Amino acid sequence: MIRKATVRDVRSIHDLLKKYADTGDLLARAISELYDCLRDFNVCEAKDGRIIATCALHVCWDDLAEIRSLAVLEEHRGRGIGSRLLTAAVEDAKTLQVNRIFTLTYQENFFARHGFRVTDKSSLPQKIWADCVKCVKFPDCDEIAMIRNG
């Protein structure tokens, strides 16, 4: 079940994201940061109540939002959960009347299947780089910037 995250989900979201942050696939998020931006998150809850996937839509500016922290537990991949979470985030953007959505990713093919196209990182506003200084790869980022209109 895809739903909006609640405060009771924060520890599970943190644990899930940490698995992928430890491998360098995602940016680590502090628990306090997750509480601060909790309304950005959707989760996928398994029948047993466990959080098995998450995705956030973070509004950056009046016409730009970022897909962040899209993660699906390894044993649940390949079932369309990531696609459903991404679709929910895109729908949230439409509801908020945000026209452009970007992501920084290593999963180019996945995002391309959902209408994102590769873009030059320098085309994105400098404001979005605030999180990058927290990354162990800064300033030598090897993620791919992708954007989707509408």
Over the stretch 47-60, which tens digit does the pLDDT of each residue have? 999 999 999 999 98
Q: Which CATH superfamily is domain 2-149 in?
A: Gcn5-related N-acetyltransferase (GNAT) (3.40.630.30)
Domain assignments of the chain as residue spans, ordered by start: 2-149
Residue burial 63-93, b: 16+ Cβ < 10 Å; e: rest: ebbbbbbbbbbeeeeeeebbebbbebbbebb
**Does the pLDDT at position 127 exceed 90?**
no
Report whether the peptide linkage leading into residue 139 is cis, meaning its omega lies within 30 degrees of zero. Answer: yes
Average pLDDT value for residue range 66-71? 96
Our CA angle for 121, 16, 78, nearest 5°, is: 80
Q: What is the pLDDT of residue 122?
A: 76
Rounded-to-integer distance, Cα 69 and Cα 132, Å: 13
DSSP percent split of the chain into helix, strand, coil, nearest 5: 40, 30, 35
Over the stretch 79-114, which tens digit does the pLDDT of each residue have? 999 999 999 999 999 999 999 999 999 999 999 999
Q: Give the sign of the dihedral formed by CA 108, CA 109, CA 110, CA 114.
A: positive
Q: Which residue has the tokens 């953007």?
A: 93
